[in-house]
Amino acid sequence: MSVFQMYGRWLDIIVILFVFLCAKASIRYVCYWRMMRQQGCQPSCKKAFVRDPFIGLDFAYDRLFQGSPARNLKGSFDMYKRLGATYTVNRLTTQTIYTCDAANIKRLLATSFDDYKLPAVRVCVMGDLLGPGIFTLNGHSWSNARSLLRPALRKERLCGLPNILESHMQSMLRQISFKGSSLDLQPLFFSLTMDIATEFLMGYSTNMLENPDGSAQQFVDDYMVCSTEAARKMTLGPLRFLRSNSAAKQSKTRVFKYIDSYIDECLKRMETRNLAVEHGNLLQELSSAIEDRQMLRDQVLHILLASRDTTASLLSNLFFVLARMPEVYAKLRREIVAAMGDSVPDFSQLRELQYLRWCINESLRLHPVIPSNAREAAQDTVLPVGGGPDGDSPLLVRRGTIVLYHVYSMHRDPAVYGNDVEEFRPERWDGLRPGWAFLPFSGGPRVCIGQQMALMESYYIVVRLVQAFERLEPTDYKPWSELFALATTCENGVHVKMHKA
């Protein structure tokens, strides 16, 4: 075959490929056009400015050289204020939709749940940190993982929680008196929620509060390093492979070692106990369904991330504010003391404490623990708003589009919460029913499975602390700023002086 014939054949192949790709693209565009017409979609007119509209080199530059992504929350909120509740970032290769509109978020999480899946970046980064589990799975594997966890968090099982809460709460109070009146409450909350979660879910507590300087403390520190690293990698998106952190890798190895020996200890203890008494313990359910030890460890890590970091972050954020708002603290204390003096509360009493509920709601509104999240369109679909010049028309979402939703900004909608959205004002909850505009525990089929546990645990801990201390004072005056991790808490801790009752 001559050189010309060979070139000719290559040229044929290239032309055929080109025609094929053009035909495919045309068919897709016809489908989009048809869907847009049927659903009344309009193209997005609210677009964020991008310097490189082709492959996103500006994104790469910002993420790699503009330093820490902390304080992203306020920056993102400012973007929504500037561009509207739904805007897009369009590049030749990708389209990303940003929204803080409650109607869109409801469609994404509930009404069109099956049209979306978890974004690949989350599956990769969290899977790398925790292994595959409920936070990284889609479809059938996800619903299997969820049904495995659900029995352990049934309402009836929560009746075992008060005794566990009280014994660990006493350890926390002992730690506070041991440390003296000025201390950082945040690490104590992280140890407390770990001790409670491990005892309630696995039947054997890590008892970090009783042994604050041992391997348990190393685990807490390592786990935070891994969580921060995962959050940072997630913001890098496709560029995450450029980030390498050997300290985080070492932390991860130590975290795995700690959890493995913890599981060994739990299983050993379970063998020597009466299993009937323990019925419903999560580790028991998991270990009878999963034989592989690595998979068991992954599931345990997922549930610990879900239950421990989130509740500790909520408590830290709340006490950060309470220390700075003595009038709110005093009002809360009056309600608690009037209802139960200094006696141990039961869950039905906790449910009656209205001002306490408002304070927790207000903390979750102002400082949501999971302030932003994302889904990826698994097929072409539509969001109800975001298209057209006013953003009031439906918006087409093409398969593969990432939809980022911002609960932090949605919780600051003046139309729902009034003009003082940046204020911590529990009284705003009097008669307020925000529906989908308040989503601290998410919504739809992937709604938080531990919401009841988290709320009862938080109510209980707040009540016992407020009963024991008449007054709090902050010992630093820095404003609240976010610690960039998988669950958002205060960057500078909760440094307070506590005055005994």
Residues forming contacts to ligand HEM in the complex (CB under 6 A) are 134, 146, 149, 153, 306-307, 310-311, 314, 369-370, 373, 440-442, 446, 448-450, 453-454
Could you tell me the two tokens for 319?
A: 């006490």
Burial pattern 9-46, b for ≥16 Cβ within 10 A else e, equals eeeeeeeeeeeeeeeeeeeeeeeeeebbeebebbebbb
HEC profile for 410-449? HCCCHHHHCCCCCCCCHHHHCCCCCHHHCCCCCCHHHCCC
- Please identify, using beta-carbon distances, which residue of 448 and 466 lies nearer to ligand HEM: 448
Q: Work out how close the CB of 369 gets to ligand HEM at its nearest, in angstroms, rounded to a whole number.
A: 4
Calculate the alpha carbon distances from 100 to 2, 103, 107, 108, 348 in Å: 62, 9, 12, 11, 35
Q: Work out how close the CB of 274 gets to ligand HEM at its nearest, in angstroms, rounded to a whole number.
A: 24
- Please identify, using beta-carbon distances, which residue of 237 and 450 lies nearer to ligand HEM: 450
- Please identify, using beta-carbon distances, which residue of 191 and 393 lies nearer to ligand HEM: 191
Q: Work out how close the CB of 428 gets to ligand HEM at its nearest, in angstroms, rounded to a whole number.
A: 19
- Please identify, using beta-carbon distances, which residue of 200 and 394 lies nearer to ligand HEM: 200
Burial pattern 67-101, b for ≥16 Cβ within 10 A else e, equals eebbebbeebbebbeebbbbbbbebeebbbbbbbb
Q: Work out how close the CB of 391 gets to ligand HEM at its nearest, in angstroms, rounded to a whole number.
A: 25
Q: Work out how close the CB of 499 gets to ligand HEM at its nearest, in angstroms, rounded to a whole number.
A: 27
- Please identify, using beta-carbon distances, which residue of 134 and 332 lies nearer to ligand HEM: 134
What CA–CA distance (Å, rounded) separates 283 from 299? Answer: 9
- Please tell me the total number of residues recorded for the chain in this structure: 501
HEC profile for 224-291? HHHHHHHHHHHHHHHHHHHCCCHHHHHHHHHHHHHHHHHHHHHHHHHHHCCCCCCCCCHHHHHHHHCC
- Please identify, using beta-carbon distances, which residue of 370 and 466 lies nearer to ligand HEM: 370
HEC profile for 293-362? HHHHHHHHHHHHHHHHHHHHHHHHHHHHHHHHCHHHHHHHHHHHHHHHCCCCCCHHHHHCCHHHHHHHHH
Report yes or no: 406 and 76 within 8 Å, Cβ to Cβ: yes
- Please identify, using beta-carbon distances, which residue of 150 and 399 lies nearer to ligand HEM: 150
Q: Work out how close the CB of 457 gets to ligand HEM at its nearest, in angstroms, rounded to a whole number.
A: 7
- Please identify, using beta-carbon distances, which residue of 171 and 307 lies nearer to ligand HEM: 307
- Please identify, using beta-carbon distances, which residue of 216 and 448 lies nearer to ligand HEM: 448
Q: Which amino acid is residue 243, in one-letter code?
A: R
Could you tell me the two tokens for 57?
A: 């080199």
Report yes or no: 188 and 170 within 8 Å, Cβ to Cβ: no
- Please identify, using beta-carbon distances, which residue of 238 and 444 lies nearer to ligand HEM: 444
Q: Work out how close the CB of 374 gets to ligand HEM at its nearest, in angstroms, rounded to a whole number.
A: 8
- Please identify, using beta-carbon distances, which residue of 36 and 145 lies nearer to ligand HEM: 145
Could you tell me the two tokens for 92?
A: 């030749």
Q: Element (H or E) spanning 483, and its range?
A: strand 482-483
Q: Work out how close the CB of 466 gets to ligand HEM at its nearest, in angstroms, rounded to a whole number.
A: 18
Could you tell me the two tokens for 197?
A: 């979660």
Q: Work out how close the CB of 122 gets to ligand HEM at its nearest, in angstroms, rounded to a whole number.
A: 8
What CA–CA distance (Å, rounded) separates 297 from 274? Answer: 23
Q: Work out how close the CB of 303 gets to ligand HEM at its nearest, in angstroms, rounded to a whole number.
A: 6
Could you tell me the two tokens for 424?
A: 């911590």
- Please identify, using beta-carbon distances, which residue of 71 and 150 lies nearer to ligand HEM: 150
Going by the DSSP 8-state scheme, the letter that residue 40 receives in this structure is T
Q: Work out how close the CB of 488 gets to ligand HEM at its nearest, in angstroms, rounded to a whole number.
A: 10
Q: Which residue is nearest to ligand HEM (CB)?
A: 450
Write out the E strands in 86-230: 86-90, 95-99, 116-117, 182-184
Q: Work out how close the CB of 60 gets to ligand HEM at its nearest, in angstroms, rounded to a whole number.
A: 26
